[in-house]
Structure 1
Amino acid sequence: MDCELSNVEGKQSIGLDAVEVVGGLYDQVDELVHRLVMLSNQRTQELDFIMEFKSLEQGFKEVTDWIEEVGESRLSTLAELEDSLEQLHSKQTLFRDFYTAAYEHCKGGEALLKRLERWEDVSSAELQVYEVKVRSFWVHLNDFSQRVEDTKTNIDKTVRLYEFFDKVRGTTIAFSVFLSLSASLSLSLFTASASFTRLGVAPAISIAFVFIWIL
C-alpha cells in the first residue's frame, strides 16, 4: 500500500515538473513570437519608408538641381543692389519674377518633406543613410529660402529709402525754385516801387500799381 502511494506521489511530482517545464517553454516561445512580430513590424516600416523615399528622391533632386544651377547664381546677382532709383526699380521687377520661381520650388521641396513626416519616429541603422539625405536636403532648402526672403526684404527697403530720398530731393528743388522766384518778385516790386516814387507817386499807390501790373 505504501509502495503504491509512493509511486502515485512520484508520478504527480513528475507531472508537475513537466507542466512547469512546458509552461516555461510556452512563455519563452510567446516572448520570441512577440519579438518577432515587433521586428517584423519595424522592418515593414523601414521598407515602407525606403519605398516612400525612393518615390520622392527624383523630386528632391529636381529641387536641389534648380537651386544649385539656377537659384544660387540668380540670387547672387540680384542681391547686388544698384545706386539709382530707376535701376533699383528694374532690379525689383526682375527679383519678383525670380521670387515666384524660387517660391514654387521651395514650396515643392517642403511638400516632399511633409510627406516623410509620418516616418519621423522610424529610425534604425539601416535608415541612417536616408535620414542624412533628408536632413541635408532640409538644411539646404531652408538656408536658400531664408536668403531669398532676406534679399527680398533688403531690396524692398532700399527701394523705399531711395523713393523717400527722391521725394525729399524733389521737394527741396521745388522749394529752391520758390525761394528764387520769391526773391526775384521781391526785387521787382522794390525796383518798380522805387521808380514810381522817383516820379512823385506815393509809396502806397506805387505798390498798388505794381500789383496791378503783375496781375
Structure 2
Amino acid sequence: MSVSFARPAARQLWAALKMMVVMTLLLGLAYPLAMTGFAQVVFPGRADGSLVRQGDVVVGSELIGQSFDGKPQYFQSRPSAAGDGYDPLASSASNLGPESPHLLQAIADRRAAAATLDGTAPADVAPDALQASGSGLDPHISPAYARQQVARVATARGMTTAQVSALVDQYTEGRTLGFLGEPRVNVLMLNLALDDAAGTAD
C-alpha cells in the first residue's frame, strides 16, 4: 500500500520541481531581462535611474533628493529621515507619531534653522521645511518653500530676486496629469540651472 502512494507522490514532486525550474527561468530570468531591455530602448534615462550628469560626472538623480546643507547659494531640500539623511539604501520615514517629543523637537529645531537661514518669520516657514517625506528621498520642494528661499539665494549669488524667481517659475512642475499631487520644484534641477545662470547674472 505504501508503495502505491509513494509513486504518485514522487511523480507530483518531480512535476513540481520541473514547474519550479521552468517558472524560475521564465519569471525570474526571461521576463526581467525582457522588461529591462524594453525599458532601456523606450525609456533609457528612467531605466538608468534618471541620473543627471555634468559632462562625464554624475551629480545626482532627478528622483532622489540630496543635501545642500551649508551652501546658502543653493536652494535647500526638505529634511530627510533616510539613514543619516538622503541615504538611498535606507529609504524610510522616521515613524515618529505626531505627539512624539523627538518629532516635536526636530520640527522646532528645523523651524528655527530655516527661519534664520532665510530671514523668515518662524510662523511663515513652509511646512515641507519642517517634516521629512515618507521616503526620506523626495527630490522636490513646494513652490512656497522655494519662494521662501529666493531672497537668500539671490543675495548669495549676486543675482536679483527677479532672476531667481524666474528660474523658480521655470522649474515649477504642475500636477501630474493635471490633477494628481501638488505643484513642485525639483531642487537639483533648479540648483543646476542657478549654476548655469549665475555666470550671466547682472
TM-score, structure 1 normalization = 0.30
Larger radius of gyration: 1
Higher strand share: 2
Q: Which structure is higher in RCO with an 8 Å CA cutoff and minimum separation 6?
A: 1
TM-score by length of 2: 0.32
